[in-house]
A and B are shown apart, each in its own frame.
Chain A
Amino acid sequence: MIAENKYMLAGSVDEALQAAKQYAGSYRFLAGGTDVISNKIQGNDTASCLIDISRIRELKEINGTGSWLKIGSLVKLEELKNHELIREEFPALIQAAHSVGSPLIRKTATLGGNLLCENRCVFYNQSEWWREAVGYCLKCNGDICIATGGKKNCFSKFVSDTAPVLIALNAEVEIADETGVKIIPVRQLYTSNGINSLAIPAGSLMKSIQLLPGTGLRCVFMKLRPREAVDFTSLTTAVSVDGNKKIKIVLGGVDPGPVIYEPEAGFDPEEMLEKVMKKPRMVDNDFYPRGYRREMIKVFIRRSLVELKII
């Protein structure tokens, strides 16, 4: 039996969690919804109950008064630049947010939603008819990965542009569920498994993204895409360095999950770039060929290190 479609506007986090419990297994939280709805229209997402959390006021605030800067998960990508502390401390986050979609998308899409954006693949983000014609892939209950012509792994791309920056900035997220609130590093939101790419458990909701200002952490963001607007990433890089010259490199758009690399002190740059370049599990499911994207990892990271005055 096909479940009847439900649409609920949650007024509070509790209400949202309640609804999630009631519709366990068939719900989807809707923040901005710019990805979820497109996926629904194409039949990639079949949740019969949409729990719209976009009116939960407490999740829309940015609080910079404590030692941690708390950005509500429903803060829109467009709004980040309006916050002075974010502008001063975390300009790379603003750049990353600004690189997402189009101005219209950014006025609806939220930071939390971008972090929890479903992995994408050109063989998966297609209509029901299309996926039937190609012979359903692993990510839609098929037997093989179509992009690779038969591998048993899913190589759907991790496409959040803000996540690499937030990981590079050691950000954490507040996750609420029935039992309370816990705080986890952003990295732990992801499984790096293309089929089920998100580790956030059912029945839980991201409340905020937390960043520690004043640590002297600097970060450079770069993104490869064919057009200067609208496009999802072909490669996202975020490179951060802290006061102790500890470097963190995070890649997006090239692997089923974020790829993190933290070089040891005194590394040889070219050797390191070779290593980073080889890390992602990448296939040809992008506008640009795989080899080129690998090569760009090197170029982008090198440029980032130069910009950070590390090499």
Chain B
Amino acid sequence: MKALQLTVNGKKLQVMVPEHEMLSTVIRETLGMTGTKTGCSQGSCGACTVLVNQEPVLSCITPAFRCEGAEISTIEGLANAGELHDLQKQFVEKGAIQCGFCTPGMVMTALDFTRKNPSAKIQDIKEALSGNVCRCTGYKKIIEAVATYVSESQMKKGKNTKPAGAERKYGIGISRPSLEAGRKVQGMADYADDYPLKNALHVKFVRSLYPHAKITGVFTDEAKAMEGVRYIACGEELPVKFGVLPISQDELAMAIHKTRYVGEIVAAVAADTEAIAEKACQRIKVHYEPLKAYLTIDDSLKDAGESERIHEYGKYNNNVHKKAELRFGDQEKGLKEADIVSAMSFEMEGVSHGFTEPHAASAWWDENGLTIITATQVPHYLHRALARTLEVPLSRVRVIKPHVGGGFGGKSDPFPHEIIIAHIARKTGRPVRVRLNREEVFLTNHGRHPSRMTIRIGAGRDGIFNVLDADIAIDGGAYGSFGVVTSYYNGVLLQAPYKIENFGFKTYRVYTNKPQCGAMRGHGAVNSRFAVECLIDDLAHRLNMDPVEIRMKNFLDADSLTVGQYRITSNGSVESIRKVAEQSSWKKRHGALEYGHGLGVGCGFFISGSALPIIRNELPQSTVHLKVDFDGRVLISSGASDIGQGSDTMLAMIVGEELGLSPDMVFVLGADTLLTPVDMGSYSSRVTFMAGNAARDAAENLKREIINAVTASLGIPGGELLFSNNRVFSNDKTVDLDWNKAVEILTAKRGAVSVSGKYISPKLGGDFKGAGAGLSPSYSFGACVAEVRVDPETGHVKLLHVWGAHDCGKALNPMAVEGQLEGSWHMGIGQAMSEEMKYHEGLLLNNNFLDYKIPTSLDTPDFSTNIIETIDPEGPFGAKECGEGALHPVIPAIANAIYDAVGVRVTRLPIKADEVLALIQKKKLNEMKEQML
């Protein structure tokens, strides 16, 4: 330890710091200024950016002592006496903030850049932000925010202009920033690792070095003897298995007797500091006896022979986890009858969510039992898993979701680290915290399954599809997670958006000795959608039809049933594809551009909430409480998890609209399983539809209470009253009350009033086995056109533009919807172009943000974003999902654009230059051969 002098945001400080400490650690931990985030600890993501003597630095790789005597500016110092800096205002106003985890770093980078480049152009801004990874927004709104700040600063010079957002209108269908955007942009929003915790222990893990091995001994004596080590936990202490699905309870908090992937937790150390815990982990010796490892789909499909299987259960002596198969009509007959059949095999690598906030959690026990603050999308399922694994009643567990730095499905399972710290907190009687480093985040995985599939699709000469048959194998990794659902989704979600009578699929999900796969944005159907949309493109070309036209011929109608009895209500497929075709000048340009330049189209659809809860029971899928008290404020409490997508804001907008209240009268308490009623969580794109409907129901119930109270107090017959502009009134003005007066009447002699609203999905679907998979009260639809330039000598693909349209029913908050669409496209582009999880003998090779290649602002093309509104009959104000479905069409649109550009069909993801080049060369060779014949 050595004394370090710093001036931080104008305040002179002296702190004692270890000599090799990084600046980010000093800022966050020594000074407690947690607005600055750390996302990668290697300078690859930019989340930790602060200014040192007015120059931006990556504080996670800047030694603190380099800054001796320097002036440090962090996000906390930017606003002036409560007023946001103009740049911060633009981030808020333009919807540049979703999860908000990258925001502080992004703002600091942009601040420095715009100071030095006061007249920067869009391309300069893109370039300047290319070291700051955002996983939510697709960068579009961030770039817009910075560009607007630049142009307004230039116009403003000397002039006094109105602050942005001064005359905002509020209501359904009107864009507004999220409730917490102001807090996020100032670094005031607390994420899981930001909570101060008195007297806490820090936990680190011993992780398996082998993909598949018997554990013959764990030796902890040396570690136990270390000063500052308080507890060492091993697998036997937590013997109860868990898993997010009731049918896949196959996971343990720590391995017992054997380990199933490299990186699986074998033991955990709790110590006074993270550094001590880490050192102690290195001194724990684990003896392994390696077993045959199953690393590929083929390994696992085969009979295991004498070798030990990954899991013991299952009928056959192989490592198949789940076989899902459904058939409608007759595929063989369909294939025979088809005039043309397209059949191809596809392979997709696994991809990871890449949320910028690493997992982190804190847990403690007190008179109320366990409390855990953790970065989760599903507090409710975690609540159940903790009660189960810790063997305590449900009433002894409280899960608090803080601000969450992105999830995308990757924070929707209960995790070993959450169970372990809860356990150690109980054993030691002390609060315990943990945070994973980026490598550990990648090892925790639960990302998209590596997949391979052979799909056949047939059509008549008229282009009408008559058959689709899919044979799919997916690599689940070591545990079940959501895998049973994924197995079905891969196949079953191919029954739309097109009418196909003879439809069938078979999916195998295998266990392998790799980190487990699970649910990721667009869950289950992204890879098979890619395949099918490529095949349709092929069919169109071979039939000499326009790929847009052939799709138009086959779309399902609104208010129809699919072959597997999905109830399609509103359907914006036609409007979506028309929109993107028109905007991209498709008719004129597709098939007509010069060699190397191409346009491609893809479509998609997705569920808007699973109609069946994961755990079958009679609870509503979402319950929302409203409380109104003497001050007139309405408190919404909901278990729905805002992880940056804006669901808290959505709830406030719905309740505000129903009750005619201004936003300052509506507050949201979200996702605390002691204080808020159950919501299933943020997965399957269910929150707007289900929690939104529950909120609306609750607001209607509150209205009824108020109408009853008011009419009773006035002695007039009950009936309808209107709620608008903070007033409660009748058309004839016999009732005309200020909201607070109405509340006074409501609460008189009764006190605060609480009402409840709920959502329960209607009974849907057929009565065959597997009919429940993919059932949803509503479905979203969409389309994308991508424009690419392919370098025929290098195979390099440059993505020039994406036009996207998505039918979200009704955009409650258009800016938030656009943000979801742009983020989805960005994530799809990553999977299409550069992202993959690569393994070496079961060991993940690219477990960091340098080697796992999330597109930067420079790799992300311009988006033309189109919201299609079809007003769903059952969605709140007509809304349905927009957070996942938009990802589906973009990947095939890119692949199909490559075909248009250079005439080669890419069937593997990610699309790498070497493969594109090889295909181009093969095609040329074939053409030469043909010419010679």
Contact = CB atoms under 8 A, between A and B. Distances in A.
Interface of A: 4-7, 9, 30, 33-34, 37-38, 40-42, 50, 52, 54, 101-105, 107-108, 122-123, 126-130, 132-134, 146, 224, 226-232, 287-289, 291-292, 295-296, 299
Given A37-B61, A104-B58, A108-B58, A231 B131 contact: no
A129 B49 CA distance: 27
A42 to B, nearest CB: 8
B62 A230 contact: no
Contact of A232 (B56, B109, B850, B855): B850
30 contacts: A5-B19, A7-B20, A9-B65, A37-B43, A38-B42, A38-B43, A38-B61, A102-B46, A102-B130, A102-B132, A104-B46, A104-B49, A104-B56, A104-B131, A105-B43, A108-B58, A122-B845, A122-B846, A123-B840, A129-B207, A133-B210, A146-B840, A227-B853, A230-B44, A230-B130, A230-B131, A289-B914, A295-B917, A296-B794, A299-B794
A167 to B, nearest CB: 24
Contacts of B856: 102, 227-230
Contacts of B66: 9, 30, 33, 52, 54
Contacts of B56: 104, 107
Interface in B611-645: none
Contact of B109 (A104, A122, A291): A104
A219 to B, nearest CB: 21
A33 B61 contact: yes
Given A133-B209, A226-B834, A299-B793, A104 B18 contact: no
Nearest to A38: B42
A229 B834 CA distance: 13
Contact of B57 (A50, A107, A229): A107
A227 B62 contact: no
Contacts of A40: 20
Contact of A108 (B62, B263, B858, B912): B62
Given A230-B131, A299-B793, A7 B65 contact: yes
B851 interface: yes
Contacts of B859: 227-229
Given A9-B66, A288-B912, A228 B853 contact: no
Interface in B86-119: 109, 113
A103 B128 contact: yes
B677 to A, nearest CB: 42
B434 interface: no
B471 interface: no
Describe A's contact surface by its main secondary structure. Answer: mixed
B914 A122 contact: no
B55 interface: yes
B850 A130 contact: no
Given A6-B19, A41-B61, A130-B847, A101 B41 contact: no
Contacts of B19: 4-7, 50
Contacts of A34: 43, 58, 61
Given A41-B42, A226-B853, A33 B63 contact: yes
Contacts of A134: 840-841, 843
Contacts of A230: 44, 130-131, 849-850, 856
A178 to B, nearest CB: 25
Contacts, number: 146
B250 interface: no
Given A230-B44, A230-B856, A288-B913, A133 B262 contact: yes
B773 interface: no
Contacts of B131: 101-105, 229-230
A104 B43 contact: yes
A224 B207 CA distance: 35
Interface in B834-872: 834, 840-841, 843, 845-847, 849-851, 853, 855-859
Contact of A37 (B62, B128, B132): B62
A133 B62 contact: no
Residue picked from A5, A230, A296, most chain B C-beta under 10 Å? A230
A52 B794 contact: no
B324 interface: no
B127 interface: yes
A108 B55 CA distance: 9
Nearest to B4: A7
Interface string B694-734: 00000000000000000000000000000000000000000
Contacts of A104: 43, 46, 49, 56-58, 109, 131-132
B68 interface: yes
Interface string B127-138: 111111000000
Most buried by A among B61, B113, B132, B857: B61
A37 B22 contact: yes
B439 interface: yes
B843 A130 contact: yes
Which 4 A-B residue pairings sit nearest by Cβ, starting from the closest? Answer: A102-B131, A292-B914, A229-B130, A228-B858
Contacts of A123: 840, 845
A7 B43 contact: no
Given A7-B63, A123-B840, A133-B262, A41 B41 contact: yes
B305 to A, nearest CB: 25
Contact of A133 (B795, B843, B846): B843
Contacts of B263: 133
B827 to A, nearest CB: 15
Interface in B277-326: 282
A80 to B, nearest CB: 16
Contact of A30 (B63, B849, B917): B63
Contacts of A146: 840
Contacts of B2: 7
B72 to A, nearest CB: 15
Given A107-B56, A146-B840, A228-B858, 19 more contacts: A4-B19, A5-B19, A7-B63, A7-B65, A40-B20, A52-B63, A104-B56, A104-B57, A104-B58, A105-B58, A126-B847, A127-B439, A226-B853, A227-B853, A229-B131, A229-B858, A288-B913, A288-B914, A299-B794
A224 B61 CA distance: 26
Nearest to A4: B19
B914 A130 contact: no
Contacts of B18: 5
